[in-house]
Structure 1
Amino acid sequence: MMLLTPGMAAFDMDGTLLNEASQMSKGNREALFKLQETGCKLVLSTGRMFGSAQIPIDSFPFDGYVCSNGAALYEKDGTLIRRYSLAKEMVIGAIHALRQDSEPVYYEMHDTNSNRWMVQEDRDRLEPIIEQGTSLEGVSMRRFALYRLAKVVPLEEMLKNIETGEAEIVKFFIWESDAERLKWIADQFAPWKSQISITSSGSTNIEINSHGVSKWEGLRHFCQLWGIAPEKVMAFGDAENDREALTEAGYSVAMENASSKIKEIAKFVAPHHNEDGVAQFIWKHVLGETPSR
């Protein structure tokens, strides 16, 4: 079997590099270190903000970071080198649109400083809906975000922060377990359809970025910076926000736990993310070795 020779490898986090406990396993860490030793550049490619992306990787030395679905790019030392913010008028208009219904919408606004902004007046109304869904893990994560991670301010202050630029919003994250209601929420962004890109990292959320933003566009920046051709990029992913990267990368790898639509566009399929699928693929198809035990 001919081994693959990537010059850069890009890794989605949730559902790909991380297991169901949102941890980067020892096996995946070892494989990534070995891959990095070959001279391959490693990039974290995630819908997460830079700050929240750091927690599960435990100081692993990635060479670059594509965060917030490509809306914020960082050097290996955490220096912000490029950002694509949503227009202030669009953000303010979307807040009003999402708050118009009597049934509350779970939404967060992510900025370039890794803050999860939420409107104070909405939080009490959100408490009943964070318990929805069948995944105990999902409920736990939403409660943690709502009560521990979110930066909560009154509506008037939130609007002021956006207007003054104190909160430079690069992404809306919206969670909803009902598919029809999720579609209704997406429709609320129709007035700004020429200004935004809509994607998702799972079946119960949508993510709004500025038009043209994607993980692949972020990865292209690092390709140009390091002189690496797209056909030498290996991209791992499992969700819709990985679509462009899996379509354009020379070595595209979908996880076994990805949807059939995502697996169809990838050239390769790695084992399940709970089985160190990234590591298994790297050892077999790139390093051609057996991992040490």
Structure 2
Amino acid sequence: MLLTPRLAAFDMDGTLLNEQSQMTEATKEACLLLKEHGCKLVLSTGRTYGSAQLPIDSFPFDGYVCSNGATVYEADGTMVRSTFLPKDMVIDAVHALRKEAIYYELHDTASSRLMVKEDRDRLEALVEEDASVEGLLMRRFAFYKLARVVPLAELLEMVESGESEIVKFFIWHKNPERLDWVREQLEPFADRSSITTSGKHNVEVIPHGISKWEGLRYFCEKWEVTPDQVMAFGDAENDREALTEVGYSVAMDNATSAIKEIARYVAPHHNEDGVARFIRNNVLGIK
């Protein structure tokens, strides 16, 4: 029996996109057919809104849940919801993370990816190592093409003044064990933030109580869609809440075993047009 979602939500990296961070033509075609079928399409990503636009080539999504739910945007890019981390917590976390050579970015409501100028040399050393490490090529692209590098004092003033409202810390290291130290540094802020991850090499810090599902609820209310009518695709821990709440939960074949366990369905690998194949076979009935 074919599935009948009214809203489909797509994680990007490791799900909708292939390993070259591309939304393939097959995926675009399947998503357009799903849209013509009367289903609303929403990106549900850990990326900022600006970063989410880069690989989709103006594909007409109906909405965007970004920064793991900390920001929500209409189809035209109008931000309709934002939740940011407390200023004092952000400042204290920056000081804590600077104690070691750890790659980190601060993402704000303007889609800026902020980095501390004084840390640039040692961060550059981290991203110039073995390119085979998961996520390293993407880190290089962010470091050289997307980052806004500012002096420490200026960044802290931007946060303190409210010029930059920080919605997320993105923290990465080639050695996953180093992230245990990161989690220790963030422990004092556990009552005001949540920690999640989109892969074994990163930690993502977002406002307390925020998740992709919280962002998706905005669109459920807007379009009068019930959770059991939602289909969500994902592959990592930051997809957990959405996959737990929706009626049609789909983990990718490349997802972690923990995520596969909570999903009702498993789609083929993200490098094999998994989203497109699942939509065609299980929703549209096209083999």
* Category of TM-score, reference length = shorter chain: over 0.9
- Give the alignment of 1:70-219 within 5 angstroms: 70-100=69-99, 103-133=100-130, 135=132, 138-219=135-216
The AA in structure 1 aligned to 2:252 is M
Aligned letter for 1:10? A
Distance in 2 of aligned mates of 1:216 and 1:131: 35
Q: State the secondary structure of the residue aligned to 1:186.
A: helix
CA distance in 1, matches of 2:189, 2:137: 32
Cα distance in 2 for residues equivalent to 1:246 and 1:8: 13
The letter of the residue matching 2:136 is V
Q: Equivalent residue for 1:275? A: 272
State how far apart, in whole Å, the 1-side matches of 2:46 and 2:108 are. 12
Aligned residue type for 2:198: S
State how far apart, in whole Å, the 2-side matches of 1:214 and 1:133 are. 32
Deviations 1:217-274 (A, max 9, x none): 1111110111000000000000110011111110000000111111010000000001
Identity of aligned residues (%): 66
What does the per-residue CA deviation read over 1:116-154, in whole Å, with 9 as the maximum and x for residues that have no partner? 000000001212211345626733322221122110010
TM-superposition CA deviations, 1:40-70 (whole Å, max 9, x none): 1100000000001011110011011000000
RMSD between superposed Cα atoms in Å: 1.1
Letter in 2 for 1:138: G
Q: Which runs of 5+ in 1 are unaligned?
A: none
The verdict on how the C-alpha distance between 1:263 and 1:133 changes in structure 2, with shifts beyond 3 A counting, is farther
Q: Name the TM-score, length of structure 1 as normaliser.
A: 0.96
Equivalent residues of 2:250, 2:266 under 8 A apart: yes
- On the 8 A contact 1:49/1:110 being kept in 2, the answer is yes
Letter in 2 for 1:253: V
**Residue 16 of structure 1 contacts residue 255 of structure 1 at CA under 8 Å; is this kept in 2?**
yes
Cα distance between partner residues in 1 of 2:229 and 2:130: 40
Inter-partner Cα distance in structure 1 for 2:278 and 2:245: 19
The one-letter amino acid of 2:26's match is G
**In structure 2, what is the Cα distance between the partners aligned to 1:194 and 1:130?**
32
- Measured in 1, the distance between the counterparts of 2:224 and 2:209 equals 22
Query: Unmatched 5+ residue regions in structure 2?
Result: none
Instruction: Give distance in 1, aligned partners of 2:171 and 2:80.
Output: 26
Q: Which amino acid aligns with 1:78?
A: G
- Length, aligned pairs only: 287
Q: Secondary structure at the match of 1:257?
A: coil
Deviation at 1:166, TM superposition (A): 1.1
**Aligned pairs (5 A) from 1:35-54:** 35-54=34-53
Instruction: Give the whole-Å Cα distance in 1 for the aligned partners of 2:133 and 2:181.
Output: 25
Secondary structure class of the residue paired with 1:279: helix
Task: Provide Cα deviations, 1:178-213, integer angstroms capped at 9, x if missing partner.
Answer: 232101111111111000010000000000000001
Quote the residue 1:239 is aligned against: 236
Query: Does the residue aligned with 2:254 lie in a helix, a strand or coil?
Result: coil
The answer to whether the 8 Å contact 1:133/1:177 transfers is no
CA distance in 1, matches of 2:134, 2:237: 21
Residue 85 of structure 1 aligns to a residue whose secondary structure is coil
SS at match of 1:198: strand
Name the counterpart of 2:262: 265
